[in-house]
Structures are given as C-alpha cells and as structure tokens.
Structure 1
C-alpha cells in the first residue's frame, strides 16, 4: 500500500533525523529548464505555508497565494495579503468592502464579490468595482492566469444569471 521512509543525513559526524535540518550549505540547486504546472502549484503551496508560518509568529494571518502572469518559460507572480484577522478570521479587504457598498448601484448583489462565471470557455472571478469607469466599472480576473479584465455591469449580470456556482 503506502511507503514509509526515514531520511537520515550524516553531517560532520552527527546524525540528523527527518525533523532536524542540516546546517545551510552554499550548494545551490540547479534551476529547472522550464516551470511546469505541478511545480508552480507546489511552489505556491510551499510559499503559502512559509508565509503563514511567519505571519502567525506576529499574530497575523495570510490570504491569497494566487498565481498570476504565469509564463512557464520564465516565471510567475504570486501575491499574498497579510493582515490583522477580524472576528471571523478573515482579513479586511478594501476592494470587497467597496464592492459591497457599490454593487446595488450597478445591478449586482454584495454577495457577487468573488463569484465566478464562464466567459468564452474561461473561468472569470469578480474582483472589484471602479465607479470612475462608468462604461466598464466591473473588474474581473481570469482564474487560470490572473489576467485582469474590465467589463460592463450588464455583461456581468448576464453571465452570472447563466452561471451555476
């Protein structure tokens, strides 16, 4: 069925078990030729855990960790929001608060923030309202790569009616 392994490293005459770390060395891991989706996902998980560990030592919490601008030949962007947790454990998001206030003025519900819908086969997420853009006030991002889009409220309303999330 499953395998269990124990790694034992011998470093300068001492033996280290799995839960101990060897002293840092100057040996660098060679970079991969290209990134792969599984490697990007593993990096995202590892970086999220590391960021959360550091934030928790200061009484803070972390949200995010979404990848964007993914280019498997060169790199990607990753973003985290670190903040003081509210009563429910979530972080205060100014864009969400603004969306909840403005949504009814654009024919949307406050709960539409973060909802997803399909547009030309791609999944998009609603991320903001910008009232200074009367023609395209709704900001969305394509879930697959985080690319941002500006859209008319009427278009968003139509796609949300047809979505099943």
Structure 2
C-alpha cells in the first residue's frame, strides 16, 4: 500500500506491520516495544512508543503497574487488587494498573477475551473492592 495521506483508517491498517517490525526489534534486544497513541496531519504522523524490559518471570514491565504500586491506596485499592477480574459490559476484565495522569479514566483494565486495554472511570473501583469481600487475596 502506497500511502498518499495519513488518517485514522490508514494508521489502523499500517499498525499491524509496525507492531510486527517492533516485535522483531524487541526480541533482538530482549525488550518489548509497544506502539501507543498516534497523532497525524495529512502528510505526517507521530507514533508514541513504549519500551519495557522483560523480567525474570518472562513478562514485560508496564508503566501502569508501577503507577499502581505507587498510588493504589489513593484510590482505595489494596496491593492484592492488582490482577482482580471483574465483569464489565458482560465481559471479564482484569485490573492491570493505574494511570493517574488521566484523571477521568485512571483505572487500566485488560479485556480477557482479546487482551485489549480499556481505560475506566473510578466507578469500577466499587466492583473491584466488592470482590475483596467475596474472595480474599
């Protein structure tokens, strides 16, 4: 595909190729590289990249997890709440971290069906903390 101008559709089509190229580079260096948000104009585009080291457990570090470790108490959460699974919109989601720099959507969940990261409002905290009463950590 020869790109003549950038728009959301073009970037969505290009994203799998970018992700594959980044994954190969990441494997070569023992890190993970994720493509983040993109901004574009007609003839230029900017793509945010997140690089993370891979720990001894084989999982890559995530900024959201680091933020959770620092700020969970501020949201009324406990350390054991990380990884808790709740039902949102009839689907299972796992709490994977916090994004306090996003005041409207600070709760970072991952939809278990497909691994899609979903940003949620603080009202999700009630569902997470209610599970503590049912299933202690």
TM-score, normalized by length of structure 2? 0.49
Larger radius of gyration: 1
More helix by share: 2
